Amino acid sequence: MNTKGNIDQQVEETLESVSKIDSVQTSPFFKEKLMRRLAEQETAPTEGVAYLTWFTPKYQAAALICFIFMNAAALLTYSSESYTDNVSSFAEVYGLSETDSDTYLYQN
């Protein structure tokens, strides 16, 4: 295990190693070059969005209108009688039809 003296020695060695770090020498125009590259990247078009450029607002409006008409047609053709028929046939097929008893555990 580490003793207190050993830990103190490791702390001192760490602090000494930090003081030995030299400053980095860069070219005098490093910042300007870097800022120019960043500006070029921001103005460059992204490749990921290119496939949706054709979906302009006029096409979005047309798609929305088509979607509304399709939903309205589906609602108008839908009748409550066919719903009850479909539900009752589903219940009969899967054995979920209504029973006279109050519980599923007791069957006559």
Q: How far is CA 22 from CA 17, 19, 43, in A?
A: 11, 8, 36
**CA proximity to 40, closest of 50, 32, 29:** 32
Write out pLDDT tens, residues 18-45.
888 888 888 889 999 999 998 888 776 6
Cα distance between residue 58 and residue 10, in whole Å: 69
Write out pLDDT tens, residues 74-98.
888 776 677 778 888 888 888 877 6
Read off the pLDDT of each residue in 4-26 and give the average, rounded to a whole number: 85
Whether the predicted pLDDT of 49 surpasses 80: no
Check residues 13 and 105 and name the one with the higher pLDDT. Answer: 13
Whether the predicted pLDDT of 60 surpasses 90: yes
- pLDDT grade for 2, boundaries at 50, 70 and 90: low
**C-alpha torsion angle, residues 42, 43, 46, 50 (rounded to 10):** 150
The pLDDT of residue 53: 77
pTM of the model: 0.35
**CA proximity to 52, closest of 43, 68, 63:** 63
Say which residues have a Cβ less than 8 Å from residue 51's Cβ, sequence separation at least 6. none
